[in-house]
Structure formats: structure tokens, C-alpha cells
Amino acid sequence: MSTDKKPNGYVPMMTGLAKAKCPRCRRGDIFASGTYSFTGQKMHEKCSHCGLYYEREPGYWYVAMFVSYALNVAEMVTAAVALHILTGSDSPWVYVGVLLGIIFILSPFNYRYSRVILLYWLTPGLHYEPERAKDKHGEQSIM
């Protein structure tokens, strides 16, 4: 256990990433709906806690496509190796069928976490700012 004092509202990086929280304050939600929501995944335009606009510039989310590609490749290689070890099958149809199913099942997960990884690790100049994570006690928004 760590005994050093964490600032008010501190959220560890992996917790913030796993829960898809704002990369700057790790308090506000990035998505308005769940990963496997039937209504689709709706994103908030900006953070409800610190006001960060998630779409950093026009076309920003195109970069998430490359992150999604990397996630898909890692998942497919892992699944194919696991399938070979578990079944030992030489039939390509076993691999095609199972991998297509896995791609379909994991696509909402990849959609969400490709954007979250882009925001957390691949955006220059966007970092965690513990000062922004603090609770807003006694402050009134002037808007």
C-alpha cells in the first residue's frame, strides 16, 4: 500500500482508461452510453468535469481507426494461436468462422478503446492534470 498522500479526486491512469474517463481530469465520462448498449455508443462533446473537448481537431477520430486496426490484429493473432493450441485444427474454415465471430463481438469494445487509447497515449500535449481533478467545493460556475 502506498502511504503518500494523493490529491483530492486523484484517479489512477489505468482506472481512468478502463472506465473511459476524461484523459485530463479522469473524472468526467467520455461516453454517454455503455460499451454494449443497444442504442449505440454516444460520446459526450466535452468533459462534464473540466470542459475538455474530446474531438481535438477536425478529423481527429480518423486516427482512432489505426488504433482499432492494431487492437484487431493483436486480438486476431492471440485468438488464432489460442484456437490452434486448443483445437489443433488445419481447416481454414474453423479459423475464419471463429475469428469473424470474435471480430463481431469485440467491435464495440475496439470502437470505444481505440478512442480512449488515442486520447490517453497518442495525443501530444494532452496529459493528466491533477489540479483539474479536484472536487469543485464552494465554486460556482459562472455560465
**Which residues contact Zn ion (rule: CB under 5 A)?**
22, 24-25, 28, 47, 49-50, 52
Considering beta carbons, is residue 85 or 143 the nearer one to Zn ion?
143
Please report how close the Cβ of residue 50 comes to Zn ion at its closest, in angstroms: 3
**Distance (Å, whole) CA 16 – CA 21:** 5
Cell of 114: 481505440
Quote the radius of gyration of the chain (alpha carbons, Å): 19
* Residue entry with cell 448498449: 37
Considering beta carbons, is residue 26 or 112 the nearer one to Zn ion?
26
Please report how close the Cβ of residue 21 comes to Zn ion at its closest, in angstroms: 8
Considering beta carbons, is residue 71 or 116 the nearer one to Zn ion?
116
Between helices 92-121 and 62-87, what is the axis angle to 10°? 140
Cell of 125: 500535449
Considering beta carbons, is residue 23 or 110 the nearer one to Zn ion?
23
Please report how close the Cβ of residue 133 comes to Zn ion at its closest, in angstroms: 8
Please report how close the Cβ of residue 77 comes to Zn ion at its closest, in angstroms: 34
Which whole-number Å values give the CA distances from 112 to 27, 41, 97, 131, 141, in the listed order? 17, 8, 24, 26, 30
